[in-house]
Structure 1
């Protein structure tokens, strides 16, 4: 396995405060997520909005099950965001031109329909104001509740480090490495990381498929990939047919997968920048590109001292880059930190156009996000003692950004 994002050390904002240790997601019931809508359905219109509660399923799996039951393509169902699989989550979905009574009658073992209404438009990605979490941490250290409160108090004032979570980079941690290789046009390196180089997290038959791939036995490797990995088998067979044309093999990956690898490369750059600046994530530097929390607009900071009071009030925050051709670059010291991160991630050269035609457009992402409504309560159920963390985060922010600070994972 290539040396990927797992090698990046992601420092804590609260290194001097002890963590509580423990286990998260020991059971689906230990991780509750409630989506907070940007708007409520108006009660009229051709689109049926319905809130579901799912257990132990990804959003896409739930959508596929509901679409099949209704005889509709999965793409017809709208949703505002994707939620964790190993959890109980509540979120809204939408579907046009369907009888609300059919939605109400849906029955699944791991999906419940909680409410049904109507609205005038399809629910789209990003149409939410945030997510509310209730997370039970088990097997914690003595004094865990007080320790957790101390950490959350700091995060509530200074902000939550906006790291991309490990799920962004895959179990093997090399999604960013794959994306950087593809961006350089090194499709052999990209594909060898996708399909070969077995690592400690690989188990049979996947580890066996990877070994066969490394040995050049592409057809045999294709036969060993499990049913849920049809894309992997397809790429192996393309290599066998073309005599080792890695560019052609790369193009056999689904477009969403190729896009995800490139976005993971951008995410790795951002994490490197935040890791370098986390101890001062609430301090502006001249040359920063600042983010306005009220509307998402960005501007270049010409006088850090002048703008710092707005940062102290959490009106604005410094940002890091998701590199691309439209990115507004930071200047001065922030710019040097960002350029170093880009080079360390294998994206040096300034080209954001992959040879397969895909382009990274780029954007800025705040180094920190606000933590709302934090609370900590110790408890006990039939499975033993726990500490429950409750808090609200903006859309797209990983709960692990909070739990890693509390637990010191």
Structure 2
């Protein structure tokens, strides 16, 4: 995933994580690589062809457009597990009907290389991946900057990071969420079904990000004040935050929280708050936030008081829940002093953004 490089362009919901740290990171194939981690191996037989594709300077949709035009097939026949950044060197899997294999032989593009072709029994669907492996290189990382990056990385390795949607989710000009809201509220119409779903999903993502910022603000208050004091500040009923101050993790779980086993599993309500908080700190499960829509479970109790302002019952698309907090894994760092370069690699679960981790490294977010 890409990242915004100018501190002045950081949106309000990201400000707590993005205090100024002036190293240079410009997403490009030279300094930013993304490798998709497959959910499963190809079966070796079936009616679909799984392609492992390396690309640069193209978004996933642009890659699909090139393939569909060359093969003369609708874009909907081409499957993908996740969208990959345009401004990076990325490797991901694409699926298409195996009957088009002969036509694929003549496909050429200067920014695309097909690394593997394997038969499989089903079309690749959104979410059919474990996660992504990122490699980044920061420049002009001098002594103070290096110490700050190391300090925040230490914090992330121990505690994880908030699972915000990244800036690219909202479009180059940041207007996608607003367009989605206008569609939901009947202020504008969008006949293209896929574009409507895309814009509404951006609106859902904005609501989630705003909720997550609100919850991080609450956790900060609980770091500084006693539960009763925070209840008064937040105008909550007495006892609403009982059992939150003593929790071992920075991000506090609330009564009525909807939890999910980590890194995947079923959702369920938090009943024993202390036990759930311990298991959350042990990375066994994590709290979830709402992507509003139909047929999705809402939080209850105190958690519902914080969720409700970021819900929108007019959304008719399918809702879901998303981890509020995730843990980067396989973090490796290397500093090159003669060039003042800082090289970093890590993996994230599917749907999580390197944007957010980079924003944290630009600042001093340490709970």
TM-score normalised by length of structure 1: 0.72
Between 1:26-35 and 1:127-136, the stretch displaced more is 26-35
CA distance 1:119–1:335, change in 2 (3 Å): same
Counterpart of 2:44?
A: 43
CA contact under 8 A between 2:27 and 2:88: conserved in structure 1? no
**CA distance in structure 2 between the aligned counterparts of 1:137 and 1:295, rounded to whole angstroms:** 31
CA distance 1:167–1:9, change in 2 (3 Å): same
Counterpart of 1:258?
A: 196
The counterpart of 1:285, out of the listed 210, 232, 254, is 254
RMSD between aligned residues: 2.6
Query: How big is each residue's C-alpha offset from its partner over 1:161-180, in whole Å with a ceiling of 9 and x where there is no partner?
Result: 11111122223323223322
Counterpart of 2:240?
A: none
Q: Could you say which structure has the larger radius of gyration?
A: 1
Shift of 1:54: 0.3
Query: How big is each residue's C-alpha offset from its partner over 1:260-281, in whole Å with a ceiling of 9 and x where there is no partner?
Result: 2222222121111111222646
Counterpart of 2:362?
A: 407
**CA distance in structure 2 between the aligned counterparts of 1:361 and 1:134, rounded to whole angstroms:** 33
Query: How big is each residue's C-alpha offset from its partner over 1:110-169, in whole Å with a ceiling of 9 and x where there is no partner?
Result: 001112222222222211111000011223343444432321222122222111111222
Stretches of structure 1 that go unaligned for 5 or more consecutive residues are 188-249, 353-358
Shift of 1:101: 6.5
CA contact under 8 A between 1:158 and 1:282: conserved in structure 2? no
Counterpart of 1:363?
A: 320
**CA distance in structure 1 between the aligned counterparts of 2:265 and 2:12, rounded to whole angstroms:** 28
**CA distance in structure 2 between the aligned counterparts of 1:297 and 1:278, rounded to whole angstroms:** 24
Counterpart of 1:224?
A: none
Stretches of structure 2 that go unaligned for 5 or more consecutive residues are 1-8, 220-249
**CA distance in structure 2 between the aligned counterparts of 1:292 and 1:91, rounded to whole angstroms:** 26
- Alignment pair present for 1:271 and 2:209: yes
The counterpart of 1:376, out of the listed 327, 330, 333, is 333
CA contact under 8 A between 1:6 and 1:174: conserved in structure 2? no
Counterpart of 2:68?
A: 67
**CA distance in structure 2 between the aligned counterparts of 1:320 and 1:46, rounded to whole angstroms:** 38
**CA distance in structure 1 between the aligned counterparts of 2:149 and 2:26, rounded to whole angstroms:** 17
Between 1:255-264 and 1:70-79, the stretch displaced more is 70-79
SS of 2:280's equivalent in the other structure is helix
- How do residues 89-104 of structure 1 correspond to structure 2 at under 5 angstroms? 89-98=90-99, 100=101, 103=104
Shift of 1:57: 0.3
Counterpart of 1:23?
A: 24
CA contact under 8 A between 2:51 and 2:116: conserved in structure 1? yes
Counterpart of 1:167?
A: 168
Query: How big is each residue's C-alpha offset from its partner over 1:182-227, in whole Å with a ceiling of 9 and x where there is no partner?
Result: 322233xxxxxxxxxxxxxxxxxxxxxxxxxxxxxxxxxxxxxxxx
**CA distance in structure 2 between the aligned counterparts of 1:296 and 1:12, rounded to whole angstroms:** 30
Counterpart of 2:238?
A: none
**CA distance in structure 2 between the aligned counterparts of 1:100 and 1:385, rounded to whole angstroms:** 47
**CA distance in structure 2 between the aligned counterparts of 1:341 and 1:75, rounded to whole angstroms:** 32
- Alignment pair present for 1:78 and 2:79: yes
SS of 1:22's equivalent in the other structure is coil
SS of 1:302's equivalent in the other structure is coil
TM-score normalised by length of structure 2: 0.80
CA distance 1:185–1:333, change in 2 (3 Å): same
Counterpart of 1:204?
A: none
Shift of 1:390: 0.6
CA contact under 8 A between 1:19 and 1:406: conserved in structure 2? no
The counterpart of 1:300, out of the listed 259, 269, 273, is 269
Counterpart of 2:53?
A: 52
**CA distance in structure 2 between the aligned counterparts of 1:117 and 1:262, rounded to whole angstroms:** 35
CA contact under 8 A between 2:50 and 2:119: conserved in structure 1? yes
